[in-house]
Structure 1
């Protein structure tokens, strides 16, 4: 029995849906959901500096950090059968913010025993 590979569009849709779950966790303040989406060695590279998994999830300690978000212009690069790089534009409003922020984001997703997990993310201001 052979396993059929997903089409490139189906894989893009799957990874965007997973990335959206990370954003949804930020929107509702669910650190447990956020944690389930990240590898233990997750690394975030942001305009403010580096972040590991504990710090990424820890930002939700006091609840939601976003009030809205939208992800557009998704592009997917297949690195290997078990690694893909999702790049997209994010528009969002922080809980304590008054202005919409825009970032270009690249997220590395790796397939492991639990499915696809996010191991790396880099945000670049879109201004």
Structure 2
């Protein structure tokens, strides 16, 4: 069960890394719960609407992610954690962070309720990433 949920949530999280999704207010509105809150890598707190607005004008960047893990909180609430970094044009990584997201299944669909990014030390890419 947890492996199937991990697979689903990892795919949704990676979808949120894609420029087309990040610029789609409609798709973001569907993926983010109305009470969504994010504590960004900077420590700043954002609401759902602030994130949608900020991502609409964000410069496109590629995101590397790896080391996904999932824990069940209750029947329909899961904590997803992973590491990520931004990919520079030369392929090197920067802006390393640990990420955590709370995902809730509501009427059969997953929505992110909370997300946090915490700066972290440099890590090496694994073959299982992206």
TM over 0.5: yes
Instruction: Tell me how far apart the structure 2 counterparts of residues 25 and 112 of structure 1 sit (CA, whole Å).
Output: 25
Name the CA shift for 1:25/1:31 in 2 (closer, same or farther; >3 Å).
Answer: farther
Partners of 1:61 and 1:14 in 2: CA distance: 25
Counterpart pick for 1:59 among 48, 54, 60: 54
Aligned residues: 118
1:73/1:88 contact within 8 Å kept: yes
- Give the corresponding residue for 2:127: none
Give the ranges of 4+ consecutive aligned residues of structure 1 lying more than 4 Å apart after TM superposition: 25-28
1:74 alignment partner, one of 53, 68, 71: 68
Matched, 1:31 2:25: yes
Query: Distance between the aligned counterparts of 1:70 and 1:104, measured in 2?
Result: 12
TM-score between both structures, scaled by the size of structure 1: 0.81
Q: 1:28 to 1:108 in 2, by over 3 A?
A: closer
Gaps of 5+ in 1: 1-6
- Per the TM alignment, residue 60 of structure 1 is displaced from its structure 2 partner at its CA by 2.6
- Over 3 Å counting, the alpha-carbon distance change for 1:26 and 1:104 in structure 2 is farther
Question: C-alpha root-mean-square deviation of aligned residues, in Å?
Answer: 2.3
Q: Residue 105 of structure 2 corresponds to which residue in structure 1?
A: 111
Residue 39 of structure 2 corresponds to 45
1:26 offset after TM fit, Å?
Answer: 6.5
- Give the structure-2-normalised TM-score: 0.79
Deviation of 1:68 after TM superposition, in Å, equals 0.3
